[in-house]
Amino acid sequence: MRKSFMRKGAAAVVAALMVLSVGSAYAQTQGMERRDDRQDDRAGARDVKQACKAGDEKTRAECRQDKRDTKQEGRHDGGTNNPTPATTPTQ
């Protein structure tokens, strides 16, 4: 009797840990994807600004605006860079 109680208790603890670990891993993965997308957008904006500064046809203000525009396009790209939109898992 006591052994079966211990087994059931251990099985319940294992099941609870599995359910909790799946939920947190799912959210962390999406957050990591969004962070990677933001880092890529910043790197692209830096490249645009460096290329603009290398040429002499634009002012510093115009180069800054180009960088802002590039970052804004990354924020509002319509989901083309991230085909899976962020959703909250059902519980």
Overall domain count for the chain: 1
> Is residue 85 in some structural domain?
no
> Which positions ≥6 away from 64 have C-beta within 8 Å?
49
Residues of the chain under the 50 pLDDT cut: 24-26, 79, 82-89, 91
The pLDDT value given to residue 69 = 92
In a domain, 6, yes or no: yes
Residue 83 lies in a domain: no
Assess contact for 68 and 44: CB atoms under 8 A.
Answer: no
**C-alpha radius of gyration, the chain, whole number:** 24
- What is the domain extent for residue 47? 2-74
| Any domain includes 66 | yes
For residue range 61-87, what is the model confidence (pLDDT) as tens digits?
999 999 999 989 888 875 455 444 444
